[in-house]
Structure 1
């Protein structure tokens, strides 16, 4: 049934493996969309799950199916705990991204674990999930999917820049929303800082003490991906094949790796957001807390960098996956061909109904 008010739980797990992002959000439609994040929380993964998720790209198909089953059970427990903890009573749907196990759109493949039908039974709620598969089947990249939310919820910004495991950007060009991945961010920075026994480089303090290796920086900037036109997207497989071997071949100190890669990120981001001048850039995602990275980005652009509230910084993707679910419930377009390269705009995702 089409309504003008929806209460949903949005669920997101990203490649940086920070944890499961959960939001309880209310969406209202009165000719345009409005939202209010009522509750939000990130549930950290236990160490064994971090190891399991990090190793998904090398798992066999049989192992993936078993992991999928257990991960779906894990999601149900975390979502239930969130709902019970905040005493949430009114829910139209749980809208979940799952966790990307395999993303090779060039081969027509994408697989997110945690999207099994029994999630609805475990939660005793309607579930909307598995948003990428249909787009890939239609010839699209299956990513990024957030730009429909940028277009309808954050239209007052010229660029919406997200700094998570990877950086992606969305904007309007000739009246069409376009979006694409720019470069790796936390998936690389966290990988190296873990060798120092840390989960992340707090405010980029370690990177700020390092020295840039300009030959490595040059080789990073010369990678073929950066010469490709959009639509384009990145996955862990690409990082494993192209980034880690290149960096490791230089045998640098961790602080110098971090300094060099931060400079690489800032340069790649600036190339994209400098395609328009004197505009506002909304920046979200965990990378926002890397003050050194944000400062380096500001050096390379004259555009206004806008850092929003903590709830938007940390939960924008979970919010928008909640919104994708709402659009799916309304049978409205939630995936744009101008973004993903699919053959048509479409309404993506699967609905698993639970009859109470």
Structure 2
């Protein structure tokens, strides 16, 4: 089988920046990969604020912002290619940035997936992976589990702790995956309110007091009782979580402690005892959160290399793009609830500029 060299590009809901990973993929008896270069390019404060506000934009303003964001993405990718002197690229595989995600209404919108991206960077682009799944009745998320299935099958569970926590595991011959609860999308917000970009190692939460009634209220949210497939978006957080947290006029540090405890409890509920769990995403650095998870359930939490913790999603979107080029399934109905397994993503070619 041909080896592939792809650039995976990901921007998550925690808004810490654009993740880029240049990866070598090869299939022998099974798929293997090697991350050759990777970095995160942070957003400017202004741009981060615009991404937060974009959920409230009019359709026309959002369309204009989509073009602005696509151009920013192109510039970022070009800089990455130049910096790492990358010459061999089969495709740039980009997730874009999710602004709207309400699959039950048939809506999912990731900006940065415009056709001009291929022309601007002069590379083949594979992008817009979620839309087709929603059209097929699926959640359009999570999409990473096909990568968990084919690249990380030695673990009982794969847990990603990003803006949201999502889990993926193999059961009865099928891949099951879903969003468990919000994580950094909430923790970062409250860390910022006490003067920090994020809660380093969970030290802030650890120093706060637990608010019993708030914790109980959060644990009783209807989403946690739903069976998968299911997924979460910013809209749900703004409707169900933030008003509850804001209703408590206690110190922000106490809210941080309570929400961290809530996350730990929700996560622990989703694992079988003594399982081997691969933990990735920014939340893997939150020592206090991991400590609280194993307080609630005995588990073997495995933190891989820094590269994999930080770039697993970019890596897997690169992989999704490679599967799309091969016209192989990259979206699983058992994960998203779509009517069938399918091969998702738009392929944009470019015209050579002379």
Answer whether TM exceeds 0.5 for this pair: yes
Asked whether the 8 Å contact 2:138–2:339 carries over to 1, the reply is: yes
CA offset digits 1:224-243 (Å, max 9, x no partner): 00010000000000000010
Out of 33, 36, 51, the position equivalent to 1:35 is 33
User: SS of the residue aligned with 2:40?
Assistant: strand
In the alignment, the residues of structure 2 paired with residue 337 and residue 11 of structure 1 have an alpha-carbon distance, to the nearest angstrom, of: 24
Which stretch of the first structure deviates more once superposed, 98-107 or 194-203?
Answer: 194-203
RMSD: 0.7
In the alignment, the residues of structure 2 paired with residue 290 and residue 254 of structure 1 have an alpha-carbon distance, to the nearest angstrom, of: 18
Counterpart residue number, 1:22: 20
CA offset digits 1:227-280 (Å, max 9, x no partner): 10000000000000010000111111011001100000000000001xx23220
Counterpart residue number, 1:217: 215
Instruction: Structure 1: state its 5+ residue gaps.
Output: none
Deviation of residue 173 (structure 1)?
1.4
Counterpart residue number, 1:110: 108
Structure 1 runs of 4+ with >4 Å offset = none
In the alignment, the residues of structure 2 paired with residue 222 and residue 307 of structure 1 have an alpha-carbon distance, to the nearest angstrom, of: 30
Counterpart residue number, 1:51: 49
Asked whether the 8 Å contact 2:102–2:108 carries over to 1, the reply is: yes
User: SS of the residue aligned with 2:270?
Assistant: helix
Which stretch of the first structure deviates more once superposed, 203-212 or 336-345?
Answer: 203-212
Structural mapping, 1:90-101, within 5 Å:
90-101=88-99
Task: Give TM-score, length-normalised by structure 1.
Answer: 0.98
Structural mapping, 1:1-356, within 5 Å:
3-273=1-271, 276-356=272-352
Deviation of residue 197 (structure 1)?
2.3
In the alignment, the residues of structure 1 paired with residue 267 and residue 2 of structure 2 have an alpha-carbon distance, to the nearest angstrom, of: 37
CA offset digits 1:269-323 (Å, max 9, x no partner): 00001xx232200000000111111111111121211000000000000000000
Deviation of residue 355 (structure 1)?
4.2
In the alignment, the residues of structure 2 paired with residue 176 and residue 29 of structure 1 have an alpha-carbon distance, to the nearest angstrom, of: 21
User: SS of the residue aligned with 2:78?
Assistant: helix
Task: Give TM-score, length-normalised by structure 2.
Answer: 0.98
Deviation of residue 31 (structure 1)?
2.4
Deviation of residue 9 (structure 1)?
0.4
In the alignment, the residues of structure 1 paired with residue 332 and residue 2 of structure 2 have an alpha-carbon distance, to the nearest angstrom, of: 22
